């Protein structure tokens, strides 16, 4: 099982929409997908409500509770959200990472990939997943305010990689991009000028179709509108790139 985390300490960059659609993308290719929503807002879980396993919570992965999970090919097993506030009050950071690592190893053979959504904050749950993940994508809005936080996130990843040597930074993914806005086009040029090696060669535009799909608990590929088809093609191009760099068939 390969674990992919979507993370950025900046909120509102579209992590949840990317994460739950990524789970569908993998499932559509016949993979067994574990989905973990580490954000207390649980937005991505609400878009995967028909795939929720109500017997096991994400919070259970940070405990000594025995966890048993199975998944059919082409399916998503999303663990129930909730009780993450208890984790944030736990003073034993190493214990949280060790427990999570143990549980992920125990279900390793039951899944092909795990997709993790994280909050836009410096949470203990998000940190633990960084210390146990194989890959990370940093969704980023291309503007001066958001980019400062995203660049700091890149620096944070480098520090984590000193301890989690298997963590591969796939890079920043420009998201909610507005090609009509001159300022965003200029900011993207500056980003590529200074951080080209840390930016995925793809972008996802700001489109209402993504919100429409999320609100109906459907993937973007299920929305039968011309605008949604455009959005789906753009997202699939970015996800194809991520999948290939993860070495997932």
pLDDT tens figures, 148-179: 888 889 999 999 999 999 999 999 999 998 88
pLDDT in tens, 45-91: 999 999 999 899 999 999 999 899 999 999 999 999 877 887 888 77
Of 192, 136, 148, 129, nearest to 22 (Cα)? Answer: 136
Give the predicted TM-score (pTM) of the model. Answer: 0.94
Domain enclosing residue 32, as ranges: 2-246
Q: Which of 235, 246, 226, 245 is CA-nearest to residue 203? A: 235
Other C-beta atoms within 10 Å of 205: how many?
17
> Could you give the C-alpha distances from 65 to 56, 104, 118, 141, 150, in angstroms and in order?
10, 13, 22, 38, 35
Residue with tokens 């997709």: 115
**Model confidence band, residue 20 (pLDDT cutoffs 50, 70, 90):** very high
* b/e burial code for range 40-69 (CB count within 10 A of at least 16 → b): bebbbbbbbeebbbeebbbbbbbbeeebeb
Provide the number of structural domains found in the chain: 1
User: Which of 100-109, 114-123, 184-193 shows the lowest mean pLDDT across its residues?
Assistant: 184-193
Mean pLDDT of 127-139: 97
Range scoring the smallest mean pLDDT among 12-21, 77-86, 224-233: 77-86
If one compares 184 and 15, the residue with the highest pLDDT of the two is 15
> What's the pLDDT at 242?
98
Q: What is the mean pLDDT of residues 110-131?
A: 93
Burial of 38 (0-12, 13-18, 19+ CB in 10 A): buried
Angstrom distance (rounded) from CA 8 to CA 168 = 15
Q: What is the CATH number of the domain that holds 191?
A: 3.40.50.300
**Mean pLDDT lowest among 20-24, 101-105, 179-183:** 179-183
Distance CA 11, CA 149 (A): 10
Query: What's the burial of 21, exposed, middle or buried (CB within 10 Å: 0-12/13-18/19+)?
Result: buried
Please say whether the dihedral angle defined by the alpha carbons of residues 120, 33, 101 and 81, taken in this order, is positive or negative.
positive
């Amino acid at each position: 099982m390969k674990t992919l985390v979507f993370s950025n300490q900046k909120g509102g960059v579209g992590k949840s929409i990317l994460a739950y659609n990524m789970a569908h993308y993998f499932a559509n290719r016949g993979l067994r997908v574990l989905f973990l929503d580490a954000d207390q807002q649980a937005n991505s879980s609400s878009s995967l409500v028909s795939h929720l396993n109500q017997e096991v919570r994400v919070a259970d992965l940070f405990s000594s509770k025995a966890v048993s999970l199975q998944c059919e090919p082409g399916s998503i097993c999303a663990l129930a959200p909730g009780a993450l506030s208890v984790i944030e009050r736990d003073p034993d950071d190493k214990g949280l990472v060790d427990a999570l690592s143990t549980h992920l190893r125990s279900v390793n053979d039951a899944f092909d990939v795990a997709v993790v959504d994280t909050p836009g904050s410096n949470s203990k749950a998000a940190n633990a997943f960084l210390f146990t993940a194989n890959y990370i994508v940093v969704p980023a809005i291309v503007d001066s305010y958001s980019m400062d936080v995203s660049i700091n996130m890149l620096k944070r990843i480098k520090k984590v990689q000193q301890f989690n040597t298997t963590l591969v930074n796939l890079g920043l993914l420009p998201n909610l991009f507005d090609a009509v806005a001159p300022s965003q086009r200029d900011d993207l040029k500056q980003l590529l000028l200074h951080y080209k090696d840390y930016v995925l060669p793809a972008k996802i535009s700001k489109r209402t179709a993504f919100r429409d799909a999320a609100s109906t608990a459907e993937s973007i590929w299920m929305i039968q509108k011309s605008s949604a088809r455009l959005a789906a093609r753009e997202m699939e191009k970015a996800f194809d790139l991520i999948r290939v760099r993860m070495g997932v068939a």
